[in-house]
Structure 1
Amino acid sequence: MLPDQRDTIVAIASPPGGALRGVVRVSGPEAIGCVARCVESPDRVTRVSSARLVEALRLPIQGLATPLLVDAMVWPDARSYTGQPSVELHLPGSPPLLAAVVERLIAAGARTAQPGEFTLRAVLAGRIDLVQAEAVLGVIDARGDAGLRAALVRLAGGLSHPLAELRETLLMLLAELEAGLDFVEEEDVRFIEPAELAARLTAAQQQVAALGEQLARRGEQAGLPRVLLTGPPNAGKSSLLNALAERYAESPGGWSPALVSDQAGTTRDAVVVPLNAGGLRWELVDSAGRTRTPLGEIDAVAQRLAQTERDEADLILYCYAEEPIPEAPAPHLAIATKCDARPSIAGAIATSAHTGAGLAELVEGVVERLRRVDRDEDQPLIRCRESLQEAQTSLSAALALAATGADELTAAELRAALDALGRVTGVVVTDDVLDRVFSKFCIGK
């Protein structure tokens, strides 16, 4: 069940943790009133007649000796992101201060927003469509520059605008076809000739096919899943990368082997090899070994780069040459290396870069984990792709029926194609679809 759009909602809209500045977002019919009831000079907010920034509002907080100074971006009418009166309060990004401001606004009549509720309201108000709403989530969750660019294109309407134009074309075609049905007994009245109907249906099919190809390219732009080898120095990470690359590299001979040495700290820069293994394309990344104390300034830089790789990885392979250490990152697979020379480790996949033992089992475990991630993260693409396929099927059926002169059945297939395209952008949408899309959002978005 969708939340009540008549409620005024509030949430912290900036990322978790401390920062120089933070944002608290309020939206709903009483957004202006809720903020006005919390500040010392309420008329500075209530007198705003068009979108503007109100600086240095004084907002008293219990426990603070002096009122908190906040800047407020005020949208007093429907010309906001959510299509409702809204206020964004900008203040020092201390988590306790942000939480205290949210509590004040709740006491003034707002309620805590549900995950994705601000963007849901934007969709329901027609400010953005469902493709763009999912792009907001894509921007938030982007794993790198390529994924961010793909999400920004969707957010800017890269798919929505062609879909809207195609849907409008088909609506006009359906209107002409159904108008002809109203005058079916009048032989000299014809709103659209059979040849023109066939030509326009064929053109629509080609547009849907082109949009499907565009969607496929969007998925590719998000980048391959990244699987990171990490663990203590000399755990056999580089040897394992070389062994896997020899068997599964996407371009045999097109990769440079990682340096292997008994000296700790040999790997400094990340080594990336695209693999095609287990029926899935993915990138294997080797990074500097984890040390509690950097071996020097260069090693400290390598450790920071390795941490960045860990933050961006879809899956971490934590390599142990001996017993596991307790702080293994998650999500991860435990990999026992050098199993040809050492006893196996309980709970870890035993591998040997020297003999190749366990590599197939390792690949199987990686692919199984990655497919779990893909099923969750690719839902927007899957939803769009399925709807485009349904539209293509209905248009094919309409074209075949048009050739037989069955105009009523042709019109029915056209309506089915329109419904399928409408489900992509949210013109035709059900509560369960909205629930699935917006349940993935964080609160405040």
Structure 2
Amino acid sequence: MIESLLIANRGEIARRIIRTAKRLGIRTIAVYSEADAGMPFVLEADEAVNVGPANPAQSYRNTEAILAAAKSTGAQAIHPGYGFLSENADFARTVAANGLIWVGPSAEAITAMGDKINARNLMAAAGVPVAPGTEDPAATVESAIEAATSIGYPVMVKAAAGGGGMGMQVANDEAALRTEYEKVRTFAERMFGDGSVLIERYFPRVRHVEVQILGLADGRVIALSERECSVQRRNQKLVEEAPSPAVSPELRARFLAAAVKAGEAVGYRNAGTVECLLDPATGEFFFLEMNTRLQVEHPITELIHGLDLVEEQLRIASGEAPTFDPAALTSTGHAIELRVNAEDPKRFLPGPGKVATWVEPTGDGVRVDSGYAAGTTVTPNYDSLMAKLIVYGTDRADAIAKARTAVAGFEIVGPKNNLPFFAELLENDEFLSGDYDTGIVSRMR
């Protein structure tokens, strides 16, 4: 097993990784920016190294500073968490070239899945369902219009190199496509350094369902279970639950088989997620993308399976077998995760600030993965995620009841937060029915 681990991240995911590593007796090294000097993850690590100013480009994305920190502290391995450098193939390659263990998939797998068009084509060749769309980048607006005419409106205009719900716009007709194409192309060039654009069929009513996979050290790829991620704002997730209330045993078997094919197509190792769009009217699903890292919402999979996915990641990276028998994997109960963000609960605009009060809920089946505490400050430099409120119940109704109580018991004073939105959602008839889709938040607003 790895003996010393540098966590190239911050906030709640850094604390989450530190917690498992300490349980396994692994020495932990945190890296932090000047803005994060007093944060809980810095204090909880065995060692901590300042890697630069608040600007993430000069700290958490500063590969030279992070590698220097790893060398100076004698770190044996690097866990990237999610975001920042987690899906940076060049960084993964450089980590390995420096004799360090990369806790994640190979640089080749990251590269293969990092471009949406390339990923679509690979998945189609492997027999994974993909939505009608372009096999090559739409190099001009005229080629985009030609593709959309063939596919049929409405279409989704996507940045091929995008991720996390960024660089996506819907076009209902040719006039809108002309506008959105230029908007996405310009955004993609600025944000990702790659202006390639993908045109894909847009499904007005669709559910977002994903499958957790693990590429084991012995070469096998296994699928654990699916997660429902349809409660979104601006194409970014707010609430996830497992299992999905929309997935039957027959559909689950198809989802998991497709996810295994996806992982095998790129020789996947470590934790990853195969994201799909599900048409609730037909039961058809289509590959959306593969996230080559640990997901924000991994705790709900942990709870229904009784696993620690960070431990499984570390075991795979160490060349060890998993803690469970893949042939006898079972799941029980229902889990829900609520992303507690520093944003107003109506328009979801950022609301950073100093935390005056921070009281986390407790109780049976309640888990809080938090990055902040009273006296810390949510700055505008990073993602607005402050904590993940996770609940586990015997069934969906029980989990929802526990979520209501936990939301009411979570007290945050200082930065704005979206807890009032969750209180509203957990009383919403559409959500309670389980028959909802990615438009639920807009219908609530």
TM-score (norm 2): 0.23
Structure with max Cα Rg: 1
User: Which structure has more helix as a fraction of its residues?
Assistant: 1
TM-score by length of structure 1 reads: 0.23
Task: Please state which structure has a larger fraction of its residues in strand.
Answer: 2
